[in-house]
Amino acid sequence: MPAPLKKHVSAAWSAASWQRYLPPDFILAADDEQERIMAHLRDVWQAVQTYLPRRAVRRLLSGLAPGEMWGEMTEGTFLFADISGFTALAERLGALPDGTEKLTALINNYFTAMLQVAAQSCPEMIGDDQDRDPAFDLLKFGGDAMLLLFSGPHHARLAVQAAIHMQQNMPAIIRQAQALGAASLGMHIGINSGRFLDAHVGTPRVMRKVEVGRTLNLTALAEEVASSGQIAIGPDTYEAVSGWIETSPAAQGFYLVEYGDMESADAPPPPAPPAIDPPHTLDDLIAALDTMVPYLLPGLLEKIILAPREPVVWADLKPVTVLFANLLGLNEMVEALGEGVTAIMDRYLGAVSEIVSRYDGTFNKMDLAQEGDKLLILFGAPQAHEDDPQRAVRAALEMQEALRPFTKLSTLQGTFSLRQRMGIHSGTVFAGNVGSPARKEYTVMGDAVNLAARLMAAAGAGQIILSRETQRRLNKAFDCRPLSALRVKGKAEPVPVYQVAGLLQEGFITRRAARHGELIGRQREIEILKAAAGRALGGEGQVVSVIGSAGVGKSRLVDELAAHAESLGMGVLRGGCIGWNNEDRPAQRQEKLRAVLKTTDPALVDWAPIVAAVLGLALPETFLTRALNAKLRKERFFDIVSQLLETRAVESPLLLIFEDLHWADPISLELLDYVARNLGDSPLLLLGIRRPEGARPQWDDLAHHQVIHLNELSRKESLELAVSLLQGTSLPPDLEAIILERAQGNPFYVEEVTHVLLDQGHLARDNGQYRLVGDPSAIEIPDTINGVVMSRIDSLDEGSRTVLRVASVIGRQFLYGVLKTIYPQRITAAALRRRLDTLQRVDLTPLEDIEPDMRYIFKHILTQEVAYESLLHARRRDLHGQVGLHYEAAHQQELEEYYDLLAYHFGRSAYRDKALEYTIHAADRSKSAYANDAAIRHYSAALELLEEQGQPRTRLWADVQFNLAEVYIHVGRYEEAISGYQSAMEAAGQNWSAEQQSRTLRKIGWTFQLQGQYAQALDWLLKAKKVAESDPAAAESRQMSRILADTGAVYIRQADFEKAINLIEQSLELLSRLPQDAERLLDEGWAYTRLGVV
């Protein structure tokens, strides 16, 4: 029984230890509060431990504290299994909408099956002894590969036995892959035995379980020796199993295991390994979680605690910059120093972790390699930023710098050296869980990951190689030098690459050089800024805040002001708050600091240690600073900064610009507040630029402070900006519509959408004017916009982010009731409203109306698109189906009004019959309303659905094709109309009546008439007349009267009036024998009109 919680358990002092493991929506008010908390914490424990190797969990439970370094040389056998043919299959499936999900399902089925087989091969692990390490353990996954460790007695035999059974069970996986279109797929396994360093390193906040040593390198080499379907073993494993299993020599001293024909083992799966029981008392349970959680990737715990029994770790398709680093030299040290390497590895990985954390990246894993060890580092998963490529390259440069202390390590056993090489590539990846329910990892997969690994392998020691995709997203701060294109596995063409030599400029990172148009729609704002600059020139210190969301034009406005200030003789200093620390070498910064202080006032040099401490530099204390406490140091530091600025402003009036204050730390804001309040009569204009959310200075009470709020541009201003970018005089309406719809007044979006239209070939210039080319729906969201939007989405808490993504499936506008109905997890109304309030507060989905149901809207359509595209296809398909079912059930009485919505949602769902039904209904309704574009879209979609369902060239297909041809005539697409009518005739065959056949032939003839091709028109009208005459009913039908009248109309065009009058009179005579109704009256009116023409 768990230990009873203290009464009033929800009090802050008693909740501090476990509050972090409860979701934000957990209600602490019920009578069964204590039991619910304990149950929830146990569920969190069970979920967390699936992300760690079992031997790691046991080690942590034995008393290893967070941040405690531990290393032990131990012995075991590693099994490294990889799939051949996977890259080709991944590329094939990557072209399909749901290819990533199919690939992930295949991989997870493979992992689950192989782990079950390995367990079945090691019956020793099925037992009640939780105090010993398991016979085998899944250490890590890596794309389509996995690394297992076998330990205990006979570990080499257990590994080989498991490998044989795994290969024997591989045909089932191969059949699944063949169903997905794989030409060939197989598993190759490398096995090696020996000693290795088993270590835990890190800090109380971030810990890592790592295995290093030459044994792992030989395991990777063995896997390389094995071909598809083979098992290669290293020399140490061979010694252990040579008398037990047949082998044959292979390359490089390895051996291949001879295990006979592969026969699929259909035995039932073994029982699952016994779960490690969570601690029984609250204190022990919290202590265990506190010890295990540092091993999780950042952001993963937040996902787990929302629903620990079914963790909501949704897989994403997102742009990520992947960095692979190959660390060389560590394994030689392990061989010589054994456990003594642990401290060195702890320092090195600690330095890497600190660098990656500073740039808000993710140190995903340390993995085995054929030479050295491989580090996988991600920028953009799970947390995206608008400048992830720049963060990755800066981190790589700092990692090279951080390696310097390790390039010459003197020990009693000799001198050792660590080296590293890196490859970086940016692209879209699958980011999410892989593995089995019992053991999983959050990782990334895809071509972008593979290419980054290939670039790493091609780099030399100390070299950083970038792909062109990464290089083109960098700003001008980086020295990137082109190299000869590389031929890499999986790529048909050579890959352009670059080497990063370093940084070209100091200071904070500058934005991507945008191709700006004119400053549009900001005349009032620029006049306010110019007036403030004028007052500063007159000796009145000024403070201005410019506030606006990402891309709204803050920097563009400031650039304009900076140019104006320079024209007036003002000095311009720009600074920025960024998501990382940007540092020169300490010695360089110390000299710069002393020089600046000496130039301002030689007496300030004695105060240098105070300023140095803030800058992270170590200068010896002087007699003036030695005795100062923290409060006095801060006050003196503020005084010095103020004096420096005043001195600089005396030399020339000064414009001081601070960008991105929403990222500022508290001490920086306090310093700016101090400077702003003490401007006095200094000729200085202090400009603070920030977004509405995040940190903010406290300047509102200052009389000399003004605020400028930047909003989106109007429709007129957006088009003016686009015209200026294209250097034209006007835009065609269809191009205007695309720019207005997708950019929605955001100047940055206007610029980027306009440029992507040019770059992707969607714009052509004729006689000085642009026209739209190709399918507008194929326009891709630019990487720059995608990064900005994804960064905002990922900055949300997990619950709000999930709501945003679910809502994106409903549409740009969405009702609370629909969202609540389709939400994929259990959620209370109060919790859902809180998350919607969060989205409204950050201005992503403002509430548009409260009657009759709360209606929200995505403020920017691009936010909806990016959120939607980040969902895997299977998740979208399921949610679309739920939306369609909701609308169908809720609107039975007015279903016709919802045909378009039903066609849209069912068309993207697994309900293909409903998709076809409502798509045809929507098409017919659009055709009746002369909504021709919509009708064409719907009829075309219906034809695709019929093809998909195996119903091409059926009667239904013919009817749909006929109606599509009818619409083509309305919009003047005559050739497509004729082709459509002919295809419909061929498909219908004898399924159409003579009247319908003659009607179609008449339509073809009339279409030729509309194009002035009268001879062809008469030929087809004659065919129509013959078909109608072949059937008594058709010969006396309204259709025959129309054939006669249309033929007469063609003769009118040819000025053969006698024939025309004769045919039209025949038409009227036939009509007189038909029942009198509205259609007969219309046909008679049409015939008499033609006679009037004659």
Q: pLDDT digits over 825-850, tens only? A: 888 888 899 999 999 988 889 888 88
Reply yes or no on whether the pLDDT at 586 is more than 50.
no
- Fold (CATH) for 523-709: Rossmann fold (3.40.50)
**pLDDT band, very low/low/confident/very high, at 624 (cuts 50, 70, 90):** confident
Reply yes or no on whether the pLDDT at 6 is more than 70.
no
Residue 302 or residue 739, greater confidence: 302
d(CA 1057, CA 1060): 5
**pLDDT band, very low/low/confident/very high, at 322 (cuts 50, 70, 90):** very high
Residue 3's pLDDT is: 37
Claim: this prediction has a pTM higher than 0.85: no
Reply yes or no on whether the pLDDT at 13 is more than 60.
no
Give me 965's structure tokens.
């041809």
Please say whether the dihedral angle defined by the alpha carbons of residues 742, 746, 752 and 755, taken in this order, is positive or negative. Answer: positive
Left (φ > 0), alpha (ψ -120 to 50) or beta: where does 308 sit?
Answer: alpha
d(CA 102, CA 105): 5
Residue 1094's pLDDT is: 56
**pLDDT band, very low/low/confident/very high, at 674 (cuts 50, 70, 90):** confident
d(CA 915, CA 910): 9
DSSP for 926-952 reads HHHTT-HHHHHHHHHHHHHHHHHTT-T
Reply yes or no on whether the pLDDT at 112 is more than 60.
yes
Residue 509's pLDDT is: 33
Residue 500's pLDDT is: 94
CATH number of 310-503: 3.30.70.1230
Q: Is residue 1016 within 8 Å of residue 1028, measured between CB atoms?
A: no
Q: Lowest-pLDDT range, 423-437, 659-673, 856-870, 975-989? A: 659-673
Buried b (16+ CB within 10 A) or exposed e, 959-997: bbbbbbbbbbbeeebbebbbebbebbbebbeeebbbbbb
Is it true that the peptide bond before 382 is cis, omega within 30 degrees of 0?
yes
* Highest mean pLDDT, choosing among 429-433, 769-773, 803-807: 803-807
Among candidates 816, 803, 823, 824, which has minimal Cα distance to 850?
816
Which residue's entry shows tokens 């399924």?
991
Reply yes or no on whether the pLDDT at 292 is more than 90.
yes
Reply yes or no on whether the pLDDT at 900 is more than 50.
yes
- Identify the helix (H) or strand (E) that includes residue 40: helix 33-49
Residues 6+ apart with CB under 8 A from 813: 848, 855, 856, 857, 858
Reply yes or no on whether the pLDDT at 293 is more than 60.
yes
Q: Is residue 113 within 8 Å of residue 121, measured between CB atoms?
A: no
d(CA 948, CA 970): 28
Q: Is residue 924 within 8 Å of residue 963, measured between CB atoms?
A: yes
Please say whether the dihedral angle defined by the alpha carbons of residues 469, 472, 477 and 478, taken in this order, is positive or negative. Answer: positive
Residue 146's pLDDT is: 93
CATH class of the region 891-991: mainly alpha
Is it true that the peptide bond before 852 is cis, omega within 30 degrees of 0?
yes
Locate all alpha helices (DSSP H) within 842-931, ordered by sequence: 861-869, 873-890, 899-907, 912-928
Please say whether the dihedral angle defined by the alpha carbons of residues 6, 9, 11 and 14, taken in this order, is positive or negative. Answer: positive
Domain boundaries of the chain, sorted by first residue: 1-63+270-295, 66-264, 310-503, 523-709, 715-779, 781-890, 891-991, 993-1094
**pLDDT band, very low/low/confident/very high, at 752 (cuts 50, 70, 90):** confident
Residue 779's pLDDT is: 64
Residue 8's pLDDT is: 35
772-781: average pLDDT: 66
CATH number of 66-264: 3.30.70.1230
**pLDDT band, very low/low/confident/very high, at 275 (cuts 50, 70, 90):** low
Q: Are 66-264 and 310-503 in the same CATH fold? A: yes
d(CA 321, CA 444): 11
Residue 917's pLDDT is: 95
Reply yes or no on whether the pLDDT at 217 is more than 90.
yes
**pLDDT band, very low/low/confident/very high, at 262 (cuts 50, 70, 90):** very low
**pLDDT band, very low/low/confident/very high, at 627 (cuts 50, 70, 90):** confident
d(CA 53, CA 138): 6
Reply yes or no on whether the pLDDT at 874 is more than 70.
yes
891-916: average pLDDT: 93
Q: Lowest-pLDDT range, 84-88, 451-455, 719-723? A: 84-88
Apex CA 896: angle with CA 895 and CA 900, to 5°?
100
CA-based end-to-end distance of the chain: 102
Residue 270's pLDDT is: 44
Q: Is residue 814 within 8 Å of residue 856, measured between CB atoms?
A: yes
**pLDDT band, very low/low/confident/very high, at 589 (cuts 50, 70, 90):** very low
114-120: average pLDDT: 88
9-37: average pLDDT: 65
CATH entry 1.10.10.410 includes domain 781-890: no
Three-state SS across 636-669? HHHHHHHHHHHHHHHHCCEEEEEECHHHCCHHHH
Residue 611 or residue 649, greater confidence: 649
d(CA 151, CA 171): 28
Q: Is residue 779 within 8 Å of residue 790, measured between CB atoms?
A: no
23: three-class secondary structure by DSSP: coil
Q: Lowest-pLDDT range, 439-453, 515-529, 579-593? A: 579-593
d(CA 1083, CA 150): 87
Q: Which superfamily does 993-1094 belong to?
A: Tetratricopeptide repeat domain (1.25.40.10)
Q: How many other CB atoms are found less than 10 A from the CB of residue 853?
A: 11
261-272: average pLDDT: 44
DSSP state of 407: S
Q: Is residue 353 within 8 Å of residue 202, measured between CB atoms?
A: yes
Residue 271's pLDDT is: 46
Residue 961's pLDDT is: 94
d(CA 113, CA 128): 23
Reply yes or no on whether the pLDDT at 1012 is more than 80.
yes
Reply yes or no on whether the pLDDT at 869 is more than 90.
no
**pLDDT band, very low/low/confident/very high, at 310 (cuts 50, 70, 90):** confident
Percent of the chain residues past pLDDT 70, beyond the cut: 88
Reply yes or no on whether the pLDDT at 264 is more than 60.
no
The single-letter code of the amino acid at 71 is G
Residue 590's pLDDT is: 46
Q: Lowest-pLDDT range, 144-158, 261-275, 414-428? A: 261-275
Rounded mean pLDDT of the chain? 84
